[in-house]
Amino acid sequence: MDIDKQKNFSEWFNTIISSAELADLRYNVKGFVVFRPWSVKSMKLMYTAYEAELERRGHSPALFPALIPESNFKIEGEHVEGFTPQVFWVEMAGGNKLEERLAMRPTSETAMYQMYALWIQGTADLPLKIYQSCQVWRYETKATKPFFRSREFHWIEAHDCFADEAGARGQVREDMEMTQAVLFEQFGIPFLFFQRPEWDKFPGAVHTYAADTLMPDGRVLQLPSTHLLGTNFAKAFNVYYQNDKGERAPVWQTCYGPAISRIYGAMFSVHGDNRGLVLPYDFAPLQVVIVPILGKDKDGTAILQYCQEVLEMLTRAGIRAKVDDSPNTPGFKYNHWELQGVPLRVEVGGREAEQKTLTLVVRDAPPKTKATVPLASAIEIVRKEGSLLSARLTAKADDYFKAHLSHAATMDELKAALEKGCIVRVPYCSMEKNEGKACADEIKAKFAGDVRGIKYDEKPPHAKEKCVQCGRDAKHWAYVARQY
């Protein structure tokens, strides 16, 4: 590729999507993309990791219809007001006009909670923790960008019910822990969790908390968010239970939404380099590619047979591997599989076949760095090198993220830090809609910076701190960044 990712991220991003065959943007409905096999294979692995974590923490899978009656959708007033502009509506079935419009789900509260009202009767039915892996549709009016912002995206949504506020707040904390366990510890994507301002929370929620990561162009991308819904939806959808006192009470609810297609875009953007993708070992469609070096005017039968022997040994051990026996030159193959982000390359020539060894190249190693590996130790070494590669990717991404966290006490300092591509901590007056939004609007107008919220567990500033914009007493440390 030879495009500088840090200097021209947009060109790098668009080129990698095309060159590595991650998606095709030529589908003839605006805002919809076709995800191609290479990206889908990784996303399936990512789904598996996230679903395993959800189930380990007591969630069960389900599948709900994609169509939601308009009457359901209107039950919770604040929610419908927040989502109506983004809804795709189905009004015809065959040649007949439907008696009631059906919404293509933008999210599933209004589909799931009417069923929860039927399933929950008493304390024995709580907590109820259900997730589904599905697609949702939103008529995005902002500029669409494949993986980051499109009108159809692929995600997991978990919807949970509890007997009291403590249970719901505990789930919010657990959602944050899951995000750390999967997003950072497995995918290698660093982030900060913010409580969103009142003017930027999920429609119908009491509070919204969301993980923001940082892209190479200095703009933040929202990844999983979790919402404390309180009893708002429960009262609207009649999700009540009989408590230990024999009283009828509304359940407390939360919802959590990791968007796998967006997280995949973040993962390859954070870890990729100027040669192409660099994928964590566990989430690469292909973990090892074996390249035969046949040489000129030589019978390569023995080399190809040895390559097959190596392949069978790796695949028996559960390692995703293949032999590239295409007619392309070795150099072409090296460049191609580096572009695709395959973590490990094995080169096999006559010497390796004779000596029962492998020449191993790790994707993130400096060019021409190679190691000779005995065949008998290959499985152990491949797994070790794959794990070390993933750890290096995580550490490198974390170092970059931390180096782009900044602080500003004045508007001039805020401007300078935003121009350097930082997430900037500032003293701020209020997260309430009727108090702090005017300052957020001013910061947005002046610097194209968005007030992302406050860190979930950060102590407020001392009394002497003043809001970076209006000069009033600061109640919070807020974080400002340019966003997608």
Q: What pLDDT shows up at residue 80?
A: 75
Of the candidates 261, 292, 293, 274, the one whose C-alpha atom is nearest the C-alpha of residue 363 is 274
Over residues 26-82, the pLDDT tens digits come to 999 998 999 999 999 999 999 999 999 999 999 999 999 999 999 998 888 787 787
Cβ atoms of 280 and 186 closer than 8 Å = yes
Q: Closest by alpha carbon to 314, among 285, 338, 288?
A: 288
The residue-averaged pLDDT of 192-204 equals 96
User: Is 404's pLDDT higher than 70?
Assistant: yes
My answer on whether omega of the bond before 127 falls inside 30° of 0, hence cis, is yes
User: Which CATH number does 405-483 carry?
Assistant: 3.30.110.30
- Segment 132-157, tens digit of pLDDT: 999 999 998 777 899 999 999 999 99
Whose CA is closest to 340, among 387, 284, 386? Answer: 284
Number of residues in the chain: 484
pLDDT tens figures, 321-341: 999 999 999 999 999 999 999
What's the angle, vertex CA 370, arms to CA 369 and CA 376, rounded to 5? 155
What whole-number distance in Å separates Cα of residue 148 and Cα of residue 69? 28
Give 167-192 pLDDT, tens digit per residue.
Answer: 999 999 999 999 999 999 999 999 99
97-102: average pLDDT: 96
| Model confidence at 402: pLDDT above 90 | yes
- For residue 384 the two structure tokens come to 């070790």
| 417 band by pLDDT with thresholds 50, 70 and 90 | very high
pTM, to two decimals:
0.96
Q: What is the DSSP letter of 149?
A: B
Q: Does domain 286-385 have CATH number 3.40.710.10?
A: no
* pLDDT of 307 above 70: yes
Supply the pLDDT for residue 298: 67
* 368 pLDDT above the threshold of 90: no
- By C-alpha distance, which of 246, 250, 252, 254 is closest to 235? 250
Sign (positive or negative) of CA dihedral 145, 227, 71, 105? positive
Task: Give the contacts of 128 (CB within 8 A, at least 6 positions apart).
Answer: 116, 119, 120, 160, 161, 251
Percentage of the chain exceeding pLDDT 90: 92
pLDDT of residue 414: 98
What is the full DSSP assignment across 15-59?
A: HHHHHTT-EE---SSTT--EEPHHHHHHHHHHHHHHHHHHHHTT-
Whether residue 296 has pLDDT greater than 80? no
For the chain, domain boundaries: 9-271, 286-385, 405-483
Q: What is the pLDDT of residue 64?
A: 98
Q: Is the pLDDT at 354 greater than 70, yes or no?
A: yes
pLDDT confidence tier of residue 297, bands split at 50, 70 and 90: low
How many whole angstroms separate alpha carbon 5 and alpha carbon 182? Answer: 25
Q: How confident is the model at residue 85 (pLDDT cuts 50, 70, 90)?
A: confident
pLDDT of 105 strictly over 70: yes
How does pLDDT run across 459-480, given as a tens digit for each residue? Answer: 999 889 999 999 999 999 999 9
Query: Which CATH number describes the domain made up of 9-271?
Result: 3.30.930.10
User: Please, what's the b/e burial string for 322-336 (b: 16 or more CB within 10 A of its CB; e: otherwise)?
Assistant: bbbbeeeeeeebbeb
> Does 124 have pLDDT greater than 80?
yes
